[in-house]
Amino acid sequence: MSEKTHPIIDLFPKEIRDKFEKGELAQQIELPLWPEDKKAMPNELARASLFVPTARGRRKMLDKVQLAAPAGIVIEFTGIQLDMSDCDVFLLSLDYARKQPLGTPILIKKAEFLRKLNRIERSGKAYKNLQDQFDRLHVAKIKVTSYPRIVHIHLIDRIIENVDQGTFEIIIHPDIVSLFDNNRFCYVDWEKRLQIGTARKDLAKWLQTYISSHSKSKPHKVSLDKLKAWSDYEVQNIRVFRMYVREALAELERLKIICEAGVDKQGMVTWTRL
């Protein structure tokens, strides 16, 4: 076996491996470029209940479930429910992937990856949590319908872990690029995201992602009921949810992600993205 072969490439047929080693893979599909201090997310994924601020240890197993989302977004999900910590791993994985052709192995050093997630702990538990997150992203399958186009993909297509070297090699399928077509993606301010520290941290992160998929400098208005549905937030009492949303919005205001945020008596939430 050639020394240049990557572990994931070893799984492909010989003719594909040979083309890879010779640099003859015909089509090179790449993600769009974005600023170094930002991460990117397709708008359709940012606005749906794909990644949700769920309580730890309360994940659901979903099978071909249509996710709650604004009108016009149709996403079917199969897999273990994903939370905002998984979202951070996905955002950072996409950032790694933008620097090379999709469908080729992406080398991830576990310690470096955890550092970029601002996770200080380097214990066996921390590495196991990261492995579990990659596993969930690999299992997760979405079907995104934007007529007449229907895209079926796993969020992460393949994973090879090298325990001795402390690395993962992952592959993100080239078909994901279709979700970025026509500039249908948003920038998420990564440094500010890592600074979110409210007790409603996960809700604040979901709101940041959702808010990032809308225009700057224009007031945005949406009902509490819709935010609760689209975030799949597990609280029954809408008054409690109202309080949580106010706390999360206050944190986003503190970080200068939004301004003029509020929730009125009729349950309408407003803000302006900075």
Report the CATH number that the domain containing residue 209 is assigned in CATH. 1.10.10
Residues 127 and 256 in one domain: no
Q: In total, how many domains does the chain have? A: 2
Listed residues 185, 217, 244: the one ending a domain: 185
Residues 105 and 81 in one domain: yes
Listed residues 185, 214, 244: the one ending a domain: 185
* Average pLDDT for 249-272: 97
**H helices present in the chain, as ranges:** 14-22, 43-46, 84-97, 110-116, 124-139, 190-195, 201-212, 224-231, 238-254
Residues 81 and 165 in one domain: yes
| Owning domain of residue 165 | 9-185
Residues 209 and 180 in one domain: no
Smallest CA-to-CA distance from 159 within 126, 132, 127 is with 132
pLDDT digits over 112-133, tens only? 999 999 998 888 899 999 999 9
Listed residues 138, 154, 185: the one ending a domain: 185
pLDDT digits over 159-186, tens only? 999 999 999 999 999 999 999 988 999 9
